[in-house]
Chain A
């Protein structure tokens, strides 16, 4: 289970084909891989390296830079409570404290049943609904203590399964359609169009003088 499923591999190859340099697909592929178990375990990163013809160190080097890419296991629901300026002014830290008490864990930890991990997030751009939080990067706000408790119950009971899908922000993102011709053809057409325009401009210039 640690390696990527055949479906994820197929999606990864599709992503790689979208860029002039396939390495550009690394971050999106990490998002996809993370959807499988909620984090990037070493075997998954090795598999990504294999597919992308990179070294596992290159994959880890990129992945470890980004907050959303996890190199340690997390709970089923990642609860990211914002405490940045707009939330600070509206009780973000009080909400974070309440979250710790309600789930009986501190920031960075996961509940023993593996359901919830809490993190202190930087601004998530939902400031008119402060204090706000994300669960698996789905927005909630403004969140009172009571609303937080209800949210936790709803998540635990599965009532929010449709609204809060598992990890992996790309799990519902699929590209349909595309260029339908090789990129080289577009470049050739562009070059021809550029040349034709230059010639027209030169002709117009000659006519004026």
Chain B
């Protein structure tokens, strides 16, 4: 499979060092999509996004257009843009927020118009200090330019956009946790049903929650038409997508690629992309879509970067982050660090998640430190099974939100793929990789 020559959609502007300024934004076609949208009926704008089949870029991959179509009719409606990017090894929204904030704002305004919302909020992860400065700076510029606020570009459409900072909580990225956080509370995910904030969201009103990268695609979709976007990619995976590549590769970074037309092999090994495994080592395993995803081995490397294909193969494209592990990686330690993350970030509402993550973390740590017991692997799988019965993919859920069922992935797949390595740790009380 060859790399396709598709012009970038969300990273086109980033070659300019001043890509975050209004001046550069306007010089590169900025706010033309919004002007065009404002001349259309809101329903037409939504129809273009539907035609684009734009899958949400946050992690769940739910079609943005369908999310919008579920929005309950009401006098007050909200839009919340999720820029709380915290999935480990995912760093694409971070890039867009710092380097192209106007594109996110323009997308937000297009979505606000299409859904006729009364107020919009851009929620940016608190740790992105520069991102918060850049986003507010861009909003200030956009207000002065007449692109946001009262009577936008003389269209009669008015909407206020408020930048809201997070304060360090992975769970605030879950959409109902995000809404709780935005309401000034602990970011506890809400009990479902209602399943979608489109019915009952922020302050109990119908709310659209979309990811940052999803927003950044909207100006292009309005300008070029939904069908042009849908012509890129394959099947349900349309358009381009940012893939955040990290770990043991020569050239880690964000790469915008046409969906489904590129494989993991291309992403990891192509000289213009990942450039191969570092230090001339071999590929041991990779995580295809954020640390909530089941791992893949080298035998899966020719899978295309397609939501459907990766799903069928038993994992997910998730947040679009790919972590590469070389043949010297201690998988016990890697799996331990991932479960430790979930343990620290569990909000504590549901027993399987709060207690399960803690026990798994302790047991894997003791294996890693050389004090493991023979029955530990069965114990681990049993605890995992209590969190997500059946240990299947997509996972069963025993908790309010999907953080719970994300916990077993790394542990279960690491054990299934590298059982011998766990046993060496247990039997010899030491790590073969030192």
Residues of A participating in the B interface, judged by any CB pair closer than 8 Å = 18-21, 23-28, 30-31, 61-62, 65-69, 83-86, 88-90, 122-128, 130, 134, 136-139, 169-170, 172-181, 183, 186-187, 189-191, 193-194, 197
CB of A115, distance to nearest CB on chain B (Å) = 19
Residue ID in chain B nearest A130 by CB atoms: B246
How many cross-chain pairs have Cβ atoms below 8 Å apart between A and B? 203
Distance A30 CA – B323 CA, assembled complex (angstroms): 35
Describe A's contact surface by its main secondary structure.
Answer: loop
Distance A68 CA – B128 CA, assembled complex (angstroms): 11
- Could you give 26 example pairs across A and B, Cβ below 8 Å? A19-B162, A24-B164, A24-B183, A28-B164, A30-B167, A68-B167, A84-B89, A86-B88, A86-B89, A123-B89, A123-B341, A126-B91, A127-B90, A127-B91, A128-B91, A169-B127, A169-B132, A174-B136, A175-B139, A178-B143, A178-B160, A179-B158, A186-B118, A187-B118, A190-B75, A191-B75
Distance A128 CA – B164 CA, assembled complex (angstroms): 26
State which of B22-30, B184-192, B372-380, B422-430 sits at the interface with chain A. B184-192
Is there an interface contact between A69 and B168, defined as CB atoms closer than 8 Å?
Answer: yes
With a cutoff of 8 Å between Cβ atoms, the chain B residues found around residue A189 in the complex are 156, 158
With a cutoff of 8 Å between Cβ atoms, the chain B residues found around residue A177 in the complex are 139-140, 143-144, 148-149
With a cutoff of 8 Å between Cβ atoms, the chain B residues found around residue A20 in the complex are 76, 119, 203
Residue ID in chain B nearest A65 by CB atoms: B186
Residue ID in chain B nearest A163 by CB atoms: B130
State which of B61-69, B247-255, B259-267, B352-360 sits at the interface with chain A. B247-255
Residue ID in chain B nearest A83 by CB atoms: B337
Residue ID in chain A nearest B134 by CB atoms: A173
Is there an interface contact between A125 and B337, defined as CB atoms closer than 8 Å?
Answer: no
Is there an interface contact between B116 and A85, defined as CB atoms closer than 8 Å?
Answer: no
CB of A64, distance to nearest CB on chain B (Å) = 8
Distance A125 CA – B88 CA, assembled complex (angstroms): 7
With a cutoff of 8 Å between Cβ atoms, the chain B residues found around residue A23 in the complex are 183-185
Answer whether A127 and B244 are a contact pair too, CB < 8 Å, given A31-B126, A173-B163, A177-B144: yes
Indicate whether B100 reaches chain A with its CB closer than 8 angstroms: no
Is there an interface contact between A122 and B162, defined as CB atoms closer than 8 Å?
Answer: no
Q: Which of A21, A183, A190 has the most CB of B within 10 A?
A: A190
Is there an interface contact between A122 and B86, defined as CB atoms closer than 8 Å?
Answer: yes
CB of A94, distance to nearest CB on chain B (Å) = 12
Distance A65 CA – B321 CA, assembled complex (angstroms): 27
CB of A48, distance to nearest CB on chain B (Å) = 11
Contact of A183 among B73, B118, B203 (CB under 8 A): B118
Is there an interface contact between B244 and A180, defined as CB atoms closer than 8 Å?
Answer: no
Contact of B341 among A84, A170, A181, A187 (CB under 8 A): A84
Distance A68 CA – B84 CA, assembled complex (angstroms): 13
- Which residues of chain B (151-173) have a CB below 8 Å from chain A? 156-160, 162-170
CB of B318, distance to nearest CB on chain A (Å) = 14
Answer whether A169 and B129 are a contact pair too, CB < 8 Å, given A86-B88, A88-B337, A128-B252: yes
CB of A79, distance to nearest CB on chain B (Å) = 13
Indicate whether B125 reaches chain A with its CB closer than 8 angstroms: yes
CB of A153, distance to nearest CB on chain B (Å) = 22
Distance A67 CA – B187 CA, assembled complex (angstroms): 12
Contact of A65 among B41, B159, B187 (CB under 8 A): B187
With a cutoff of 8 Å between Cβ atoms, the chain B residues found around residue A128 in the complex are 91, 244-246, 252-254
Contact of B165 among A31, A125, A127, A136 (CB under 8 A): A31
Answer whether A125 and B184 are a contact pair too, CB < 8 Å, given A27-B165, A89-B334: no
CB of B258, distance to nearest CB on chain A (Å) = 21
With a cutoff of 8 Å between Cβ atoms, the chain A residues found around residue B19 in the complex are none
Residue ID in chain A nearest B324 by CB atoms: A89
Distance A62 CA – B148 CA, assembled complex (angstroms): 31
Is there an interface contact between A187 and B75, defined as CB atoms closer than 8 Å?
Answer: yes
Is there an interface contact between B85 and A125, defined as CB atoms closer than 8 Å?
Answer: yes
Contact of A179 among B126, B128, B150, B168 (CB under 8 A): B150
